[in-house]
Amino acid sequence: MKVLLLGGTGEARALAAALHPAVEVISSLAGRVPDPALPVGPVRIGGFGGAEGMRQWLVDEHVDAVVDATHPFAATITAHAAQVCTELGLPHLVLARPAWSPGTATVVASDTEAAETVAANGYARVFLTTGRSGTRAFKDVDAWFLIRAVTPPDPDTLPADHELLLSRGPYDYAGELALLREHRIDALVTKNSGGAMTEPKLRAAETAGVPVVMVDRPPLPPGVHTVATVEEAARWVKAETAG
Ligand code: NAP
């Protein structure tokens, strides 16, 4: 039995560690970051070439089941996996980490709506944590931005007035609070990524009285089987591969 594990997240690495070497798992990374944290076991890196490319790869590699443990905002690869597994009749699971409760945050549907919210409220010093692909929508917003990302955004997408902070989580509460205060931040923009690694910024914002603009998650494809934890996903894989 062979399992494709679509990854690029801490949960995917934890799942690979829980299954390897008892189950043959091939982890797949998009190849976005030059120095990715690698899971244990075999890894392939790079896109498949759309849904058709993924289908061919699954057939050629004789894969028996697919676990999608990608980031909640990686909607394209998640849609491709759901579609192809349905077509091929392959067991398919989505490991979707629970969303954060938005609390008092202003919930918006997209980066564009988040940028409109920042402009409409006249926020002047914004902590922007929506990742390297999330800066373009803010390019023409008249504010200063502290932009945190793992890899540098394309310079064409950056607002004129900004400071770039290249780093990778996890982050802690004290550090996040200090960052908000040091930079006199008056708004935090975040995706609703969920998970513990980047959640301390929300608690720090609450303490500092900094309003939060939160981009809601894209919906999962209809009808997919979903679990919330690495442990549940490991149980599912073991049950599938035992049969
Ligand atoms: P996306 O928009 O859903 O995917 C775009 C394309 O990238 C896909 O069509 C696919 O190319 C390729 N791809 C994505 N994930 C892949 C994987 N695990 N293995 C092989 N190819 C993959 O995804 P994204 O938002 O660019 O995210 C890319 C990766 O970074 C994901 O693995 C995700 O878990 C991770 N990540 C994303 C975020 C985020 O905020 N979006 C944050 C942290 C980590 P083909 O069509 O050619 O197959």
* pTM of the predicted structure, to 2 decimals: 0.96
pLDDT category at 129 given cuts 50, 70, 90 is very high
In this predicted structure, what is the pLDDT of residue 243?
Answer: 67
pLDDT category at 188 given cuts 50, 70, 90 is very high
Measure 142 CA to ligand 1 centroid, in angstroms: 30
Measure 208 CA to ligand 1 centroid, in angstroms: 33
Q: Is the pLDDT of residue 154 over 70?
A: yes
Mean pLDDT, the chain, whole residue set = 97
Backbone angles phi, psi at 97, to 5 degrees: -65, 145
pLDDT category at 179 given cuts 50, 70, 90 is very high
pLDDT category at 206 given cuts 50, 70, 90 is very high
Helix (H) or strand (E) holding 53: helix 50-60
Measure 178 CA to ligand 1 centroid, in angstroms: 32
pLDDT digits (tens, 9 = 90+) for 80-95: 999 999 999 999 999 9
DSSP string, 188-214: EEEE---SSSSTHHHHHHHHHT--EEE
Closest residue CA from atom 39 of ligand 1 = 73
Mean pLDDT along residues 87-107: 98
In this predicted structure, what is the pLDDT of residue 34?
Answer: 86
Residue to mutate (ligand 1; options 4, 45, 55, 77; most atoms within 8 A of CB): 77
Q: Tell whether the torsion through CA atoms of 116, 122, 123 and 125 is positive or negative.
A: positive
Q: Round to whole Å and give the CA distance between 146 and 129.
A: 8
Tokens of 141: 């917003």
In this predicted structure, what is the pLDDT of residue 101?
Answer: 97
CA angle in degrees (0–180, nearest 5) for 99-40-98: 5
In this predicted structure, what is the pLDDT of residue 122?
Answer: 98
The set of protein residues with a Cβ atom below 6 angstroms from ligand 1 is: 6-9, 28-30, 32, 47-50, 53-54, 70-71, 73-77, 80, 131
Measure 158 CA to ligand 1 centroid, in angstroms: 21
Closest residue CA from atom 42 of ligand 1 = 71
Q: Which ligand 1 atom is at minimum distance from the Cα of 74?
A: 3
Helix (H) or strand (E) holding 3: strand 2-6
Measure 46 CA to ligand 1 centroid, in angstroms: 9
Are the C-beta atoms of residues 58 and 90 closer than 8 Å to each other? Answer: yes
Helix (H) or strand (E) holding 179: helix 173-182
Q: Is the pLDDT of residue 35 over 70?
A: yes
Mean pLDDT along residues 208-233: 98
In this predicted structure, what is the pLDDT of residue 108?
Answer: 98
To which residue do tokens 């949960």 refer?
A: 11
Rounded to the nearest 10°, the torsion over CA 190, 46, 168, 219 is 20
What is the percent of the chain with per-residue pLDDT over 90, rounded to a whole number?
97
